[in-house]
Amino acid sequence: MRSSLIAGNWKMNGSLESVTALVDGIVAGDRGKAELAVCPPAVFLMKIGGMLADSGVALGAQNVCQYASGAYTGELAASMLSEAGCQYVIVGHSERRSIYGESDELVAARFNMAIEAGLQPILCVGETLEERQQEQTLAVVNRQIDAVLAVSGIEAFASAVIAYEPVWAIGTGQVATPEQAQAVHASIREKMSALNAEIADGLQILYGGSMNPGNAAELLSQPDIDGGLIGGASLKADDFLAIAQAV
Ligand code: PEP
């Protein structure tokens, strides 16, 4: 039986004051049966890592450099994220792919660095609206996952998470139907199962894209949806916790 992970991606939002209040609210609240993680802006990781100690809420970063150390201005090494207390790191978020031009190969290299450093990557995959309309959804998701498999192999997914995030649903208020999401999640699990059934069975596959307290229960009740990667609704402790309670 897989546990469910509700992870908050705070993106580039908040101030020291607002993020500490948010952490206080999340730690103090009822999270139901869900595992929780928060992914704050990098500059707040050390502070929030300290606040989360012994809370049972995990810390994650929003990206990681593909290199171990050196002259890579603006980047963060996996070892630094570990030192800050991170368990997770998001890789391949659609905003990184579309705004910053991160290719499948670069995402795969970042994923691999996270694995080598003992972090659990949350690999984001998903299609644009145009790709969905052209019935390319599964081809796109498979291509994005294949790039990672080619570098890290199926074994890496024993300590990784996949987040299916249709690009057209991120930050738009337009959520995938439970049936649309389940179909993609089941296809991902089937693909992984063909390589290693045990790893596929234990793999947490999160849904992301305008998940909120109103639509979470139906999405999370799907057999292959093992939690959520939450953007906007993770910025309010009550909404984030309400999603967790929907597990
Ligand atoms: C995200 O950015 O990963 C995300 C799912 O955002 P939102 O929940 O705001 O759609």
Ligand 1 atom with least separation from CA of 212: 8
Per-residue pLDDT tens over the stretch 128-142: 999 999 999 999 999
Ligand 1 atom with least separation from CA of 228: 5
In the three-class reduction of DSSP (H, G, I as helix; E, B as strand; rest coil), residue 59 is classed as strand
pLDDT number for residue 36: 98
Q: How confident is the model at residue 74 (pLDDT cuts 50, 70, 90)?
A: very high
CA–CA separation, 94 vs 169, rounded Å? 11
Q: What is the rounded average pLDDT of the residues 8-35?
A: 97
b (16+ CB within 10 A) / e for 4-19: bbbbbbbbeebeeeeb
Matching residue, tokens 């793999």: 203
Per-residue pLDDT tens over the stretch 88-130: 999 999 999 999 999 999 999 999 999 999 999 999 999 999 9
b (16+ CB within 10 A) / e for 178-201: bebbbebbebbbebbeeebeebbe
pTM of the model: 0.98
Give, using CA atoms, the residue closest to atom 1 of ligand 1: 231
The best mutation among 167, 211, 243 to test binding of ligand 1, ranked by most ligand atoms within 8 Å of the C-beta, falls on 211
pLDDT at residue 161 is higher than 90? yes
* Strand runs labelled E in 126-166: 161-164
CA–CA separation, 247 vs 31, rounded Å? 9
Q: What is the rounded average pLDDT of the residues 52-71?
A: 97
- Would you call 131 a catalytic residue per the annotation? no
90 Cα–ligand 1 center, Å:
12
Catalytic residue among 95, 131, 165, 185: 165
- Would you call 155 a catalytic residue per the annotation? no
Q: Which two tokens stand for residue 231?
A: 């953007």
Q: How confident is the model at residue 1 (pLDDT cuts 50, 70, 90)?
A: confident
Ligand 1 atom with least separation from CA of 173: 10
pLDDT number for residue 96: 98
